[in-house]
């Protein structure tokens, strides 16, 4: 599995697959999903914050494209926000693909 290093790409810290259950440790993003935040804040979100969210998501996607990574499920529900400054983070791969890959190996 490839390692990605970018401020807008969620980091996989580690994977334990020696015995069941498979465990995946991810970077903590306590701000929830972008979709939850947009639904909660609704019309109260100003243009500058909407622009910043778009810019950060685009930066993460651009990096993944440069690294030849196809995301396959870009959506607000899959963009996670950091707890303190609400920075947008995209997972490099969906957890489904990680679990599938390692379950085939174990």
Query: What CATH number does the domain containing 95 carry?
Result: 1.10.510.10
Q: Provide the CB-side half-sphere exposure for 78 (13 A, CA).
A: 16
| Backbone angle region of 92, left / alpha / beta, with phi > 0 → left and psi within -120 to 50 → alpha | alpha
Is residue 1 situated within a structural domain? no
pLDDT at 89: 95
Model confidence at 39: pLDDT above 60? yes
Share of the chain above pLDDT 90, in %: 51
| Backbone angle region of 32, left / alpha / beta, with phi > 0 → left and psi within -120 to 50 → alpha | left
How far is Cα 59 from Cα 52, in angstroms, rounded to an integer? 10
pTM, entire model: 0.79
Is residue 3 situated within a structural domain? no
Q: Is 85 helix (H, G, I), strand (E, B) or coil?
A: coil
Q: What pLDDT, in 10s, does the model give residues 77-106?
A: 999 999 999 999 998 765 555 556 666 655
Is residue 15 situated within a structural domain? yes
Q: Is residue 85 annotated as a catalytic residue, yes or no? A: no
Choice among 7, 27, 65, 73 that is catalytic: 73
């Amino acid at each position: 599995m490839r390692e990605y290093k970018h401020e807008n790409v969620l980091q996989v810290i580690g994977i334990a697959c020696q015995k069941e259950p498979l465990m995946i440790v991810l970077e903590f993003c306590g701000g929830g999903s972008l979709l939850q935040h947009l639904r909660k804040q609704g019309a109260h979100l100003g243009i500058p914050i909407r622009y910043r969210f778009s810019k950060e998501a685009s930066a993460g996607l651009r990096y993944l494209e440069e690294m030849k990574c196809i995301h396959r499920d870009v959506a607000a529900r899959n963009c996670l926000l950091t707890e303190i400054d609400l920075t947008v983070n995209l997972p490099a791969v969906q957890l489904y693909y990680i679990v599938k890959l390692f379950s085939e190996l174990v």
